[in-house]
Amino acid sequence: MAGIYLHIPFCVRKCAYCDFVSFPSGNVPETYLDALLTEIELVSCGGSYPAAFDTVFFGGGTPSLLTGDQMRRIMATLRERFDIRVEAEISMEANPGTLTPEKLAAYREAGINRLSIGLQSTHDALLRSIGRIHTFAQFEESFQRAREAGFANINVDLMHGLPNQTVGQYLDSINTVCDLGVQHISAYSLILEEHTPLFDRVERGEVMPPEEDLVADMQDAGIDLLETRGYQRYEISNFAREGFECRHNLNYWLNGEYLGFGIAAHGVVRDRKWTRYANVDNLEEYNRLITRGKRPLAETIRLTPRDEMFECVMLGLRLVRGVDRAAFLARFDLDVVEAYPKAMELLRKRGWIEENERYIALNRKGLDLQNEALGFFM
């Protein structure tokens, strides 16, 4: 499996918790679109890439700032330059405050078949506290419009651990979204990132984040409720109805190849050796390099076999099913348990690991403490 990621780094207003590379704007400038299309052409003419692609993902920022015509141009260029499989999953992130019936119809016409809508909470006071530009009512309207436009595969993002959020509010958000019949729910914990407005407010004592025990209670109660409502947890923060797992993200976690286009985008390709690359994160520099006919690369890293092994484990252990032992053995001619005997012994002693002939996987406690668990493999 192979994927394509495109970064659309513009937002009406940046959320108070966000540290992604994005810029305030009410639209996607044509200069950026032209540069993005040129980058696609540059890679298709001289880069190393898979023969065909199974997924395309528009992330941001706010990709739903793209006009219908802009989306058509991007998808037409991708199909002209690469082999995008007919059955490909083509996803885009969307903000409820930016979706219109006209845009949704154009996105469907262009080939988008999966939406990921950032809701975060059904409680307007919590939305205001983290700087979201929409209300729950606007989300409901956008969701209904998406269904009417023909989107049958929709993810909704929810967050827990927000300032002043209660367990009851989080569970209420989950139940409300489940009642809508969504196919997929991403349930994340708020992470306070330095140099964000929310982090600064917490540092100044203006906002108090919830206690760690309360955040853990929210997470545990949320997992139980989602599974009760028929959503299978298949990754640390992702839950899906059967058959609606996000194929693009699964490709990441299964350590597959993907191309990244746009400012600050990352990619991984197999060119004799596995090669990881990252684009520059400065908009002026990105445009300047593209104008000169150069790929906007900030770094390119050739992975050693040991690096590859660690990435397989690091990404695979995000999945509830864990690391596929047969796939690991076929790739490295070594069983994962034999490759990391000390790490496995430590995980067994902690009681965080489950093993069978097919997989090694972190159990629920291990998933909760994944960062510490991964430290054993370093």
In this predicted structure, the answer to whether residue 47 has a pLDDT above a threshold of 80 is: no
Dist CA 5 CA 92 (whole Å): 10
- Given a cut of 80, whether residue 33 has pLDDT beyond it is yes
Q: Flag whether pLDDT at 271 surpasses 80.
A: no
pLDDT band at 197 (very low <50, low <70, confident <90, very high): confident
Digit-coded pLDDT (tens) for 302-353? 999 999 999 999 999 999 999 999 999 999 999 999 999 999 999 999 999 9
Burial degree of 298 (CB within 10 A; 0-12, 13-18, 19+): middle
The stretches of the chain forming alpha helices (DSSP H) are: 30-46, 68-81, 101-110, 124-129, 136-148, 167-179, 197-203, 212-228, 247-253, 283-291, 305-316, 325-332, 336-339, 341-350, 364-368, 370-375
pLDDT band for position 13 (50/70/90)?
confident
Question: Would you state the pLDDT for residue 193?
Answer: 87
pLDDT tens profile 48-75 = 788 899 999 999 999 999 999 999 999 9
Instruction: Inform me whether the pLDDT recorded for 19 exceeds 90.
Output: no
At residue 3, does pLDDT exceed 90? yes
Q: Which of 125, 147, 148 is nearest to 136 (CA)?
A: 125
Mean pLDDT of the chain: 94
From the options 1.10.10.920, 3.40.50.300, 3.40.50.720, 1.10.150.120, give the CATH code of 305-378. Answer: 1.10.10.920
Contacts of 243 (CB under 8 A, 6+ apart): none
Question: Taking the model in full, what pTM does it have?
Answer: 0.95
- 207 confidence band (pLDDT: 50, 70, 90): confident
Q: Has residue 272 got a pLDDT over 80? A: no
Q: Which CATH class is domain 2-251?
A: alpha beta
Domain borders along the chain are 2-251, 305-378
